[in-house]
Amino acid sequence: MEKPQFTLLAVDDDATQLELLRVICEKIEFPSINYLSAETGARGLEIVRKHSVDLVLTDYRLPDINGLEILKRIKTDNPLVSVVVMTAFEDARDAVHILQNGGDDYLVKPTRKDEIEHLLVRIFEKNCTVRENRIVQREIDESFDGLSMVVFQSRAMQQVLNLVSRSARSDAIILITGESGTGKELMARLIHKSSLRKEQPFVTVNIAALPESLMESELFGHAKGSFTGADQDRAGRFEEADGGSLFIDEVGDIPPSIQVKLLRVIQFGQIQRLGENHTRQLNVRIIAATNRDLEGMVTEGSFRTDLYWRLNVVNVTIPPLRARKADIPPLVEHFIRVFNLKNNRSIQGITREALDLLMGLPFHGNVRELENMIERGIIMARGTHISLRDLESSGVKTPFEDEIHQLCDSAHGTDYQEKMNSFEKKLIACALEEAKGNQSEAARRLKITERRLRSRLEILGIHNPNEHSPAAGGFDENVEVPRQTRREK
């Protein structure tokens, strides 16, 4: 049986230390260690971007950037990579900073052979445990009568679900906020399923999909003859949800005339059908959702203040996927199972290189975007696993390629040369930012020589103050590039 492989990257400017670690790794029988090394922080970060790495073992003090900064950058890009920092000084403050910023451990130099061996085995076992826990979670999910439960692993989603679990069994109105595609309706269904009303109806209404002329009738119902085409009495969504829960999606799109009527329902628990003179008493739990800034709408006067505070009893904010990247692997596994069944495929998983690509994407479309990517990957897959090639052939772009398309659309100028210069400035600035200021790496991403990059920087008037610094072209926040090239962090 083939031994499981574990990739270790050692980052240290001490060649003797790197050789010592290499020898130690060669003597470890299980797991099989794939050893990589770098003598600068910039080179180490470049290797992490190019290779699938399980553990980064980095010195704290390096000639260009320190180990704490390496830790922060790696955990931001891919929190699945374990990072351990080595320091020559046993300073408790350094240890606290390392652990607070997501470090998996720290070691005091000089490191001993047994310490390294124990560390490698422990990190390897931790990774195996994470994979096993996903399998157990999958089995638990499948036992919930077909209900698609929330798939997560991040601390951010754990906090969200803790809030949901404390409030679900009450009758309090819950307002779910978050960007489009984060799973607000799924969260609403989970709230209803966890409530005392779970055996009663769960009714949904998407306000954005309704024309304003039909919105009142759709929500509250109408009497026969109340308007042209009303040939019979009709109950609205509130009456359909009586005793259960009503999920109002895109509540920020409700026009002012309907906001008044919704406020009355919340205050008195009564609705009045369009064309009727009497009210009907209902018992409905409201769960609302929006991707809009309701507080801002209140300030500008497009959303009623009293309605906002009536809705905002319990606020559940779902963070975007780019802020909880630890959720990407379990979501990928979940979607592979779902789309295997849907498309009659038997894909067993995703390659590490393909997963690394997904971990680096901004996911402006959030979970819905990831879901679509995996379905396309399942359809395009040539082997037993979704590969990097499968994702690229299905249209998935790297963050840098995606940025290029956005830059093309935003180039300024009145003639051809001005537009080309504008685009080139933004393109170079984007490459430098993606490369964390390293001009060699930026040139590689642009597929030009470093000499040509320096020439274009000079011709276009892009000044990099760190061009001649010991950090080999470190990018500084004061580099003179157009402000619109700054990507949101």
Q: Confidence band (pLDDT; 50, 70, 90) for 415? A: low
3-state helix, strand, coil in the chain (%, to 5): 50, 15, 35
Give CA–CA dist 214/210, Å, rounded: 7
Counting every residue written for the chain, the total comes to: 489
Which residues of the chain does CATH 1.10.8.60 include? 324-396
Give the domain 401-485 fold: Arc Repressor Mutant, subunit A (1.10.10)
- Residue 20 vs residues 16, 57, 105: alpha-carbon distances, Å: 6, 13, 20
Whether 336 contacts 386, CB under 8 Å: yes
Beta strands in 219-263 (DSSP E): 245-249
Give CA–CA dist 139/127, Å, rounded: 19
Quote the pLDDT of residue 407: 54
Statement: residue 390 has pLDDT above 80: yes
Share of the chain above pLDDT 70, in %: 83
Q: Among residues 284, 275, 157, which one has the least CA distance to residue 217?
A: 275
Lowest mean pLDDT among 47-56, 169-178, 437-446: 437-446
pLDDT tens digit sequence for 419-452: 777 778 888 888 887 777 788 878 887 878 888 8
Q: Confidence band (pLDDT; 50, 70, 90) for 144? A: very low
Q: Token pair of 71, please?
A: 């830790």
Mean pLDDT score across all residues of the chain: 82
pLDDT tens digit sequence for 53-86: 888 999 988 888 888 899 989 988 888 888 998 8
pLDDT tens digit sequence for 196-241: 999 999 999 999 999 888 899 999 998 888 887 778 888 999 999 9
Query: Who has greater pLDDT, 131 or 315?
Result: 315
Write the DSSP string, 288-316: EEESS-HHHHHHHTSS-HHHHHHH-SEEE
Quote the pLDDT of residue 393: 77
The set of residues, in sequence order, having a beta carbon less than 8 Å from that of 256 and lying 6+ positions away, is 302, 304
Greatest mean pLDDT range, 50-59, 247-256, 357-366 = 247-256
Statement: residue 327 has pLDDT above 60: yes
Statement: residue 258 has pLDDT above 60: yes
| CATH classification for the domain delimited by 5-133, as one of 3.40.50.150, 1.20.1540.10, 2.30.30.140, 3.40.50.2300 | 3.40.50.2300
Statement: residue 468 has pLDDT above 70: no
Which residues of the chain does CATH 1.10.10.60 include? 401-485
CATH class of 324-396: mainly alpha
| CATH classification for the domain delimited by 155-319, as one of 3.40.50.300, 3.40.50.720, 3.90.79.10, 3.40.50.1820 | 3.40.50.300
